[in-house]
């Protein structure tokens, strides 16, 4: 896989999964509102995808080693992968009651992250369980912190 596509896909996938899971869990804990969760996912899908794409664009330019085409490929692959993975979380929220949708979303997100982590480990010839565990610990930390932040907001301002 071309470097520029790999940069965008890996960043977009990880950011799309972890950011969206944190948002879903936090909004569910704080509001218990399906409307708020769907609105949050759609906002993340568009605004954060554009923001992350610009961040990758500037980062790749700052390295001063990539062609203009490589920078733009990284930019677009970041945007579209983040958009796709973030939007994928709308499906369970639309189809299920919110509590089940949150559980399905967590399973879906951690599953995608595990699969991608496995592929990275295999490509680097390292033990997959270590790479997977490292990434799942980080994602789980975001999920747990987001839940407690949502609960704190509900208690404090609800």
Q: Which of 29, 4, 13 is nearest to 119 (CA)?
A: 13
Q: Give the separation between CA 27 and CA 13, rounded to whole angstroms.
A: 21
The percentage of residues in the chain with a pLDDT greater than 90, rounded to a whole number, is: 98
Check pLDDT > 80 for residue 54: yes
* Measured CA distances, 147 to 92, 121, 158 (Å): 18, 30, 15
Percent of the chain exceeding pLDDT 70 equals 99
Q: pLDDT per residue over 62-73, tens digit each?
A: 999 999 999 999
pLDDT of residue 1 exceeding 80, the answer is no
Residues 15-44 have a mean pLDDT of 98
Neighbours of 124 (CB within 10 A): 10
| Domains of the chain, residue spans | 3-157
């Amino acid at each position: 896989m071309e470097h520029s596509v790999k940069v965008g896909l890996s960043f977009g996938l990880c950011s799309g999964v972890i950011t969206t899971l944190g948002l879903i869990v936090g909004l569910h804990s704080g509001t218990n509102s399906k409307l708020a969760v769907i609105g949050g996912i759609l906002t993340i899908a568009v605004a954060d995808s554009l923001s992350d794409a610009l961040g990758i664009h500037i980062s790749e330019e700052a390295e001063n080693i990539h062609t203009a085409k490589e920078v733009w490929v990284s930019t677009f692959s970041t945007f579209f992968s983040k958009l796709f993975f973030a939007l994928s979380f709308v499906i369970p929220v639309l189809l299920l009651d919110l509590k089940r949708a949150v559980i399905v979303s967590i399973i879906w997100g951690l599953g995608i992250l595990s699969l991608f982590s496995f592929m990275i480990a295999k490509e680097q010839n390292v033990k997959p369980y270590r790479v997977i565990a490292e990434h799942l610990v980080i994602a789980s930390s975001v999920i747990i912190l987001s839940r407690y932040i949502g609960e704190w907001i509900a208690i404090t301002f609800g």
